[in-house]
Structure 1
Amino acid sequence: MMRWLILLLLPCVAAAGPDTLRVATFNTELQRDGPGLMLRDIRRDKDPQIAAVVEVIRQIAPDVLALQGIDWDYENQGLNALVERIENTGLIYPYRLSLRTNSGLASKLDLDGDGRLGGPGDSQGYGSFTGQGGLAVLSRYPIDTDAVRDLSPLLWQELPGAVLPAHRGAPFPSAQAQAAQRLSSTAHWIVPIDLPSGPMQLMTFQAAPPVFDGPEDRNGLRNRDEIRLWRVLMDGKLGAAPSKRFVIAGGANLDPWDSDGRSETIRSLLADPRLQDPAPHSKGAAQAADQGHKTPNARDTVDWERAGRLRVDYILPSSDWTIADSGVFWPASNDPGHAVALQASRHRLVWVDLRLD
């Protein structure tokens, strides 16, 4: 039992006000190596990482929470078990969304070009089983599930302006693979939520890492287009464009300046006049040793062993919101919650408070 975490820690972030909506995104990294293992570990209530994830969520208490790194199953037993653990702390989420993602979705093709079939790289999104490391949305307010738009089936080649990988002038890994390859490595969802002040749309995703490929830059190009999808959507080239009160929240896997991928893509999204970048920051990241990066240390949202600290997790409200506050849950080393933030995930929870007037 890890309930001592809750007893020892005091809240580090003030609760959102009554006229404020707190939106958060959190890559929990709770995915496991096999189907059902995340559910098993949650129910056993002995895993310190799971306890830490629950504690981080409790301390921030978002009204709307986009989760990544959550294994999907047909009956949503894993997500429901996690929500039960969260609700045991007094934080209630009556509305939730979990759909099958592209991660681990078998293709029967050689999608990664390694000359073999059936590996995790041959799934529509990297994964050893369907839904490994998927997405979920938790909300205190009703989700209009009938109106959810799931863009995950969109083929990569169907995205306007897509650039697909090539090797020696030929499609990589093959024309047949590109004809079947979906764009979303995990998913892209547009989730309508009914707020007291009116409807909003949560646009959530988790992009592929732009590395772990070859000179064809398959992952780098895919990451580019997964991020660029949101601008194409706002341009009205993928059906109805969101008109007002929307929020992009999720994982881009790309830093504006310091990643190995095509960083100009995320810079273009951050600079889009239809969006706002709250530039959330934390004391924990600010006090860490300087890496010589161009992105300010305080804005980092992940701490990877080799790549170091980067800003890769984002909440970008549309320009018609009024931003009240924002932050990254990464307390300073001498503040309550620091050890729990590090225990929960290499990623940190990012949150933004929006005025409901």
Structure 2
Amino acid sequence: MCLFWLSGCGETDEPVPPASVRVMTYNIEDVRTQDLRRTDHPRLKQAAARIQALSPDILLVNEMTYDQPGAPGYESGDPEGLNAQRFVENYLSTPQADTLEGVTYQTVMLPVNTGLSSGYDLNNDGRVVTEVPTVPPSPENGRVAQQTAQGRAYGNDAWGFGTFPGQYGMALFVRNDLEILRDSIRTFRFFPWSQMPNAAEPIDSASGEPWYTPDEWQSFRLSSKSHWDVPVRLPDGTVVHVLASHPTPPAFDGTAQRNARRNHDEIQFWVDYLDGAAYIEDDSSRSGGLADDASFVVVGDLNADPDDQGVYRQAIRELVSHGRVHGGPAPTASPAGQAAFPSLDPNDTARWGSRVDYVLPSATLSIDTSGVWRPVSRDTTAVSASDHFPVWVDVHPRS
């Protein structure tokens, strides 16, 4: 019998093309530690069923809390960053329907900037809010927890908006027979925004002065969550760099456009990384961008739509059209999925009508197929797993 990734099985056999690897991104809205400690959370059971049905080999989940001290549900003495594994153990490994099979993954979960106190008055309201407020528990019915005024006040002075440390984190799930090159992971959580050439520094339109003080601007971190470069070796030996992030939404903004400008530059970072920009320095003080010959996939909720004429500047358009990015068509919904959401464009990945979630393979990878998963019926009374749809692309290394 032929093995999946071998180039051939016998002298008379034709070469077998490399098998596809499915890469998927899914924003599961505001998943918290206490949700993951349960085994019966309605939204997580529904999300796990989606994942089991689509069966990605590499999956990025956005908005999963990085469990750490100061976060609700974290128990003193526990190691940090266990929530991704909890999702595997409590949901993904258990079939969520008779027609589905459980799946298991290796996980990567690393610290993020969201909900970490900056010690500065970043929203310029005259207060420096550094104490994590009381966080209301997640609703028992599985719906998304509501924010409070106290939580927003704290989050607006944090390095990345979050009402508690680790909220809206990221988690990477990798099929067990793929190899995560953990010693080669690069993170850019601490990279100062001010070190980016031509940074889109927010300006107070009323005074014409910079929004942030000189001390704040020198300390301000570009990543609202983090930027990760996680190399994964495929069974044929090809290494694919998973470039994961979740830029801040370009909304909830004042006239200084703090979030729109930051969103732009968080995306611009990946454009520059692919260009090998010398200014880039990771959290281990290693300089430079991605090697010219490296294969990669850019994944995550980038919170920007290239078709949105109101998008701040051009970073998202530059990224999707970059010379190193595969120029294939954007993933789209199936005809049935489109019929269920006729007001959306076929490539919209969010229920409010935007393409914000991306799997962008490098030109060194061939695309076999892709899609945006949408339910084919709309039950307005049910708890929805997320306000985003899963997006996936099947790729294989070019021979």
Matched, 1:312 2:356: yes
The equivalent residue for 1:88 is: 94
1:341 offset after TM fit, Å?
Answer: 11
- Which letter maps to 1:257? D
Return closer, same or farther for 1:333/1:289 CA change in 2, 3 Å cut-off: closer
- Which letter maps to 2:27? N
Is 2:23–2:393's contact at 8 Å kept on the other side of the alignment? yes
- Which letter maps to 1:65? L
Return closer, same or farther for 1:259/1:138 CA change in 2, 3 Å cut-off: farther
Query: Structure 1: which 5+ runs fail to align?
Result: 1-16, 32-37
Deviations 1:203-251, CA, capped at 9 Å, x for gaps:
0000101111111111111010001111111111121423321110011
1:91 offset after TM fit, Å?
Answer: 4.0
3-state secondary structure, aligned to 2:84: helix
1:264 offset after TM fit, Å?
Answer: 2.8
3-state secondary structure, aligned to 2:217: helix
- 2:46 corresponds to which of 46, 49, 52: 52
Return closer, same or farther for 1:112/1:51 CA change in 2, 3 Å cut-off: same
Query: Structure 2: which 5+ runs fail to align?
Result: 1-16, 69-78, 96-100, 130-153, 281-287
3-state secondary structure, aligned to 1:297: coil
1:45 offset after TM fit, Å?
Answer: 2.6
The equivalent residue for 2:59 is: 65
- Measured in 2, the distance between the counterparts of 1:97 and 1:248 equals 16
3-state secondary structure, aligned to 1:210: coil
For the pair shown, which has the larger CA radius of gyration, 1 or 2? 2
Q: How many residues align?
A: 324
3-state secondary structure, aligned to 1:122: coil
Matched, 1:279 2:330: yes
Percent of aligned pairs with the same amino acid = 34
- Measured in 1, the distance between the counterparts of 2:171 and 2:82 equals 12
1:260 offset after TM fit, Å?
Answer: 4.2
- 2:114 corresponds to which of 94, 103, 118: 103
1:332 offset after TM fit, Å?
Answer: 2.6
Is 1:24–1:351's contact at 8 Å kept on the other side of the alignment? yes
Matched, 1:22 2:73: no
Return closer, same or farther for 1:312/1:224 CA change in 2, 3 Å cut-off: same
Is 1:105–1:124's contact at 8 Å kept on the other side of the alignment? yes
- Measured in 1, the distance between the counterparts of 2:41 and 2:103 equals 22
Comparing 41-50 with 179-188, which one deviates more in the overlay? 41-50
1:93 offset after TM fit, Å?
Answer: 3.4
Deviations 1:16-51, CA, capped at 9 Å, x for gaps:
x971100000111143xxxxxx23223333321111
Matched, 1:324 2:368: yes
Return closer, same or farther for 1:341/1:23 CA change in 2, 3 Å cut-off: farther
1:160 offset after TM fit, Å?
Answer: 2.2
Over aligned residue pairs, what C-alpha RMSD do you find? 2.3
Is 1:259–1:310's contact at 8 Å kept on the other side of the alignment? no
3-state secondary structure, aligned to 1:27: strand
- Which letter maps to 1:313? D
1:73 offset after TM fit, Å?
Answer: 1.5
The equivalent residue for 1:40 is: 34
Q: Counterparts of 1:203-214 in structure 2 under 5 Å?
A: 203-214=243-254
The equivalent residue for 1:13 is: none
The equivalent residue for 2:126 is: 115
- Measured in 2, the distance between the counterparts of 1:341 and 1:64 equals 28
Is 1:56–1:340's contact at 8 Å kept on the other side of the alignment? no
- Measured in 2, the distance between the counterparts of 1:41 and 1:289 equals 29
1:281 offset after TM fit, Å?
Answer: 0.6
1:193 offset after TM fit, Å?
Answer: 0.6
Return closer, same or farther for 1:265/1:290 CA change in 2, 3 Å cut-off: farther
1:287 offset after TM fit, Å?
Answer: 2.3
Q: Counterparts of 1:192-211 in structure 2 under 5 Å?
A: 192-197=231-236, 198-211=238-251
1:175 offset after TM fit, Å?
Answer: 2.0
1:87 offset after TM fit, Å?
Answer: 1.4
Deviations 1:102-159, CA, capped at 9 Å, x for gaps:
1111111112222221211111100122211100110011211111100111111111
The equivalent residue for 2:162 is: 127
Matched, 1:160 2:160: no
Return closer, same or farther for 1:267/1:59 CA change in 2, 3 Å cut-off: same
The equivalent residue for 1:145 is: 182
Q: Counterparts of 1:201-350 in structure 2 under 5 Å?
A: 201-237=241-277, 238=280, 239-242=288-291, 243-258=293-308, 260-262=310-312, 264-276=314-326, 277-283=328-334, 286-287=338-339, 297-303=345-351, 308-333=352-377, 343-350=384-391
TM superposition score normalised by structure 2: 0.76
* Structure with the larger helix share: 1
Q: Show structure 1 runs of 4+ deviating over 4 A.
A: 288-291, 338-342
3-state secondary structure, aligned to 1:319: coil
